[in-house]
Amino acid sequence: MMKDTSVKEKLFGQKVRSGIVNGIIYVILAVLGILWVLPIVYLLYTAFRVTPSTGIIYDVIPPDLELGFGNFVRLFNETMFPTWLGNTVLVAVCSCALTTLFILMVSYAFSRMRFKLRKPLMNVMLVLGMFPGFMSMIAVYFILKAMGLTNSLFALILVYSGGAALSYYICKGFFDTLPRSLEEAAILDGANQWTIFWRVTIPLAKPIIVYTVLTSFISPWCDFIFVNTIINDATKYTVALGLYRLINAEKSSFSENFTVFCAGATIVGGLITALFLSMQKYYVEGVSSGAVK
């Protein structure tokens, strides 16, 4: 009886300690979750705030508060937001297509082909891919200037897709999981590597293609640094640079256009969020499959 009682007391003590630890963890996670959500809530709140219509508010619910779509109307009527959005979509789609194609081809070559410099090239590209892209910003700018390509959307597409192959490793990991027996069967039927790539491998690679498309699209969609360096013409701004200049053009611009800025940020964030959520299933599958190796 004494032993049974002591065992029960130990189990009870363990449950109490476990409950306390879990409670502390849940409280910390809840606080972090609230801190993460608050900026998004404030962005949406300010975007739909019609009055007061200027600057940052310090009262949670001001006495003259009015909500509506007035800031979105101003965004499309008083700014060049439609042009900026069109430029962003053009650059993001073109960069995404080129980047996806480059990554798939390089990943397939490293996964299925064997040549002398294969491992050294993989190691070099992996190391180069670890460096942040903005470190090459000045060199890229002078190269583009020497080629007469500055202040053009084509230059942005080149910048975003030029180093795409450095991000091959996840896609290569996915190709490594595909059975070689399918390719061997295709070779017996007379198919070459190009035919195998397009007709055998690509149809099986939907998850990793979706993952690559999403990651390739998000980068030019959200980028500010390279656009700010390369583009000076307001008609060629992307939304990131356009919205930044909207509230920084003059000293009074921030107070006058802050709510309009939030409306633009809501549209930009909402579009990319909808795209991500619609393809989330394939995104997770591509990440998990590509990480097996």
Q: What is the pTM of this model?
A: 0.80
Q: Quote the pLDDT of residue 54.
A: 63
What's domain 80-290's architecture? Orthogonal Bundle (1.10)
By C-alpha distance, which of 213, 267, 277 is closest to 240?
267
Token pair, residue 22, equals 């879990």
With a cut of 50, list the residues of the chain below it in pLDDT: 1-2, 290-293
Please report the pLDDT score of residue 291 as a whole number.
42
Q: What is the pLDDT at residue 179?
A: 82
